C-alpha cells in the first residue's frame, strides 16, 4: 500500500467548489443552457459538492510517468495539480527528454529512466501514471502493484482478457488504488444518461447503439533501420519480434493487433464502457461481428471498419459500428448528423449522448427530476481528482481494476469476434467462450508473451 510523505511546503490542496447556492440558483437557467444539463441535475450536483467529505491532505505524492507519449504527458500534467512529478520513463530517448523538460521547474527536474523497473525502486515515487502502449499496460500495472505504488492506468486496462484477471488479482493482493483512465465515467453528461436509463426513464431498455471512429487502413509498409533514440526490443516487449516499421510506433500502435485492438479498444474503451455502465450487466452472452473491409496485407492489421453485435441475458442488444450514417442496428440515423456517441433506445423513447451533447426523444425525459429513491451511480466530476482523493482516503475509485477489466473485456470480445469471423457465446462468470466455436475463440483470450517479457518480468 502506498505511503505518502509527511506534509511539507506546497501541500496537496484539491480545488474547491466556490459557487454559492444562491448565486448558482440565480443563474441556473444560463448554466443549464451552457452545459446542456437539466437544472434539477445541476442543483443536485451542487448540493452533493457542498456536503461531500474530502480526505485531509497528507502532503503531495511523488508521481512517476511511465510512457511519455502525448497521452501520458497529458495525464501527468493533470496529475501534477495533485502531486510532484519526480520521475519519467520511456524507451524512446526523444520522448524522455521532452518529458524531463516539460515537468522541470525552478526547484527540480524529474529524473529520467529508460527501465520502468528502476522507477519502481524509488521510495519518493508513490503514484505511477501508466501511459505506455496497450501491450505494456499489464506488466507495468502488475509491477507497480507489487511495488506498492498506486496507479492511474491508461485504457484499455489490458491487451487481453486473461491479463485482466492477473491485474485484478495483483491489485487486490497489494491493496493499492488503481484508476482506469476511462474518464467519461467522470463526466456529468454520461453519468446522467446512465442514471436515466437505469431508472427506466426511456422505459425498458431494448438496445444501445454505439458509433466509433473508423480506424486506419494503410500499407504495405517497409521496414527501416531502428532509430538511434529507440530501444526497439524493449518497446516490443511481450509482442512478437519483428523488424522496425515506423508505423508500428507512437500513436499508430493502436492499429496493430500485436499491440492494441484498433478503434474497438481505443474509442471503444470509452463508449462501450458507458454502455456497460448503463446496461448494468458485466458482459454480453452472444457476440457476432462483420468486417466491412479487410486490412491491407503488409499494413495495419486491426480492422478499420466493422459492425459488432452483442446480446445480453436479459435480451438487451448492444450494436457497435464505425462511423457511417447508418445506425448500428439498421434503424434510424443518428440525431443531428452526429458521428460518435451512444444512443440508448427503450420502449418509451431514446437518449443520445456524446462528449458534446445530451438529447432525448422527448424534452421531459431530461427535464423531469429523478425520484429521491432513484438508482444513483458513483459520482465523480474529475477523473484524476477522484483518483488522488482515493489515494488519500483509500476508498475505491470510480473505475477500479475490476471495472476496468470488465470494460476492456467488452472491447476484447468484439475484437475476437472480428478476428475469428465466428458467432460466439461468452460465459461471463467463467470468462471463457462456450458452445460450437469455443475452442477457436478461447485461443484469443490470452496471447503468448515473448520471453523474457512475460508476467515474471513484472517482478
Instruction: Name the region of 452 (left: φ>0; alpha: ψ -120 to 50; beta: rest).
Output: alpha
In the numeric block, the cell 442496428 is attached to: 329
In angstroms, the CA 134 to CA 27 distance is 44
- pLDDT value of residue 21: 54
What pLDDT score does 7 carry?
32
Grid cell digits, residue 323:
462511423
For the chain, the straight-line distance linking the first and the last C-alpha, in angstroms and rounded, comes to 16
pLDDT recorded at residue 448: 96
pLDDT score at 227: 98
Question: Distances from the Cα of 308 to the Cαs of 171, 328, 374, in angstroms?
Answer: 31, 8, 32
Note whether 76 and 131 are within 8 A (CB): yes
Residue 16 pLDDT: 40
Which domains does the chain show, CATH number per domain?
21-51 (no CATH), 187-374+403-458 (3.30.360.10)
- Bridge partners, 310 (sequence order): 287, 318
**How many whole angstroms separate alpha carbon 134 and alpha carbon 253?**
8
Please give the pLDDT value at position 9.
31
Residue 104 CB coordination number (10 Å): 13
> Which three cell numbers, joined as nine digits, stand for 436?
460450437
* Per-residue confidence (pLDDT) for residue 17, from 0 to 100: 41
Query: How far apart are the C-alpha atoms of 45 and 187, rounded to whole Å?
Result: 12
d(CA 115, CA 268): 30
How many CB atoms sit inside 10 A of residue 72's CB? 23
Q: Write out residues in the chain with pLDDT < 70, as ranges.
A: 1-34, 51-58, 324-339
3-state secondary structure (DSSP) of residue 33: helix
Q: According to the model, what pLDDT value does residue 20 have?
A: 53
Give the integer Cα–Cα distance in Å for 96 and 106: 19
Provide CB contacts within 8 A for 278, sequence distance 6+.
193, 194, 197, 198, 205, 208, 344
DSSP-assigned beta bridge partners for residue 112: 88
**For residue 220, cis peptide bond before it (omega within 30 degrees of 0):** yes
pLDDT value for 24: 54
Please give the Cα distance from 241 to 162 (Å, whole number): 21
Question: What's the confidence (pLDDT) of residue 6?
Answer: 38
d(CA 94, CA 73): 13
- Whole-model pTM: value is 0.90
User: How distant is the alpha carbon of residue 405 from its chain centre?
Assistant: 10
E-strand spans in 273-416? Answer: 286-291, 306-311, 317-322, 341-346, 349-353, 358-360
Per-residue confidence (pLDDT) for residue 148, from 0 to 100: 98
Amino acid at each position: 500500500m502506498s505511503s505518502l510523505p509527511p506534509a511539507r511546503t506546497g501541500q496537496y490542496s484539491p480545488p474547491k467548489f466556490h459557487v454559492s447556492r444562491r448565486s448558482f440558483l440565480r443563474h441556473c437557467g444560463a448554466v443549464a443552457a451552457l452545459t446542456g444539463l437539466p437544472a434539477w441535475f445541476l442543483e443536485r450536483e451542487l448540493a452533493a459538492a457542498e456536503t461531500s467529505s474530502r480526505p485531509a491532505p497528507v502532503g503531495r505524492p511523488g508521481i512517476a510517468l511511465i510512457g511519455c507519449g502525448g497521452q501520458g504527458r497529458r495525464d501527468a500534467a493533470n496529475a501534477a495539480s495533485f502531486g510532484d512529478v519526480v520521475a519519467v520513463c520511456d524507451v524512446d530517448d526523444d520522448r524522455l527528454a521532452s518529458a524531463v523538460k516539460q515537468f522541470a521547474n525552478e526547484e527540480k527536474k524529474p529524473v529520467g529512466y529508460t527501465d520502468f523497473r528502476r522507477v519502481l525502486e524509488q521510495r519518493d515515487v508513490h503514484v505511477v501514471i501508466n501511459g505506455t502502449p496497450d501491450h505494456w499496460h499489464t506488466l507495468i500495472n502488475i509491477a507497480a502493484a507489487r511495488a506498492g505504488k498506486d496507479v492511474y492506468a491508461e485504457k484499455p486496462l489490458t491487451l487481453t482478457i486473461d491479463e485482466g484477471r492477473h491485474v485484478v488479482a495483483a491489485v487486490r493482493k497489494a491493496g493499492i488504488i488503481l484508476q482506469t483512465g476511462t474518464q467519461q465515467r467522470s463526466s456529468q453528461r454520461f453519468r446522467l444518461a446512465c442514471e436515466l436509463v437505469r431508472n427506466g426513464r426511456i422505459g425498458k431498455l431494448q438496445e444501445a447503439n454505439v458509433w466509433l471512429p473508423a480506424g486506419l487502413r494503410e500499407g504495405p509498409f517497409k521496414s527501416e533501420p531502428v532509430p538511434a533514440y529507440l530501444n526497439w526490443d524493449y518497446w516490443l516487449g511481450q509482442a512478437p519480434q519483428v523488424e522496425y516499421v515506423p508505423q508500428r510506433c507512437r500513436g499508430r500502435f493502436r492499429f496493430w493487433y500485436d499491440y492494441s485492438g484498433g478503434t474497438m479498444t481505443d474509442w471503444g474503451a470509452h463508449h462501450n464502457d458507458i454502455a456497460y455502465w448503463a446496461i448494468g450487466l458485466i458482459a454480453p452472452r452472444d457476440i457476432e461481428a462483420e468486417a466491412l473491409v479487410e486490412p491491407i496485407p503488409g499494413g495495419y492489421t486491426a480492422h478499420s471498419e466493422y459492425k459488432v453485435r452483442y446480446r445480453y441475458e436479459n435480451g438487451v442488444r448492444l450494436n457497435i459500428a464505425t462511423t457511417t450514417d447508418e445506425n448500428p442496428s439498421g434503424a434510424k440515423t443518428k440525431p443531428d448528423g452526429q458521428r460518435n456517441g451512444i444512443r440508448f433506445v427503450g420502449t418509451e423513447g431514446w437518449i443520445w449522448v456524446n462528449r458534446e451533447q445530451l438529447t432525448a426523444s422527448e424534452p421531459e425525459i431530461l427535464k423531469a427530476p429523478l425520484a429521491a429513491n432513484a438508482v444513483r451511480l458513483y459520482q465523480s466530476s474529475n477523473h484524476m481528482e477522484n483518483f488522488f482523493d482515493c489515494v488519500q482516503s483509500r476508498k475505491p475509485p470510480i473505475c477500479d481494476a475490476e471495472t476496468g477489466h470488465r470494460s476492456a473485456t467488452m472491447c476484447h470480445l468484439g475484437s475476437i469476434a472480428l478476428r475469428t469471423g465466428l458467432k460466439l457465446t461468452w460465459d461471463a462468470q467463467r470468462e471463457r467462450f462456450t458452445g460450437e466455436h469455443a475452442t477457436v475463440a478461447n485461443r484469443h483470450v490470452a496471447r503468448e508473451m515473448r520471453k523474457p517479457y512475460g508476467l515474471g518480468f513484472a517482478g
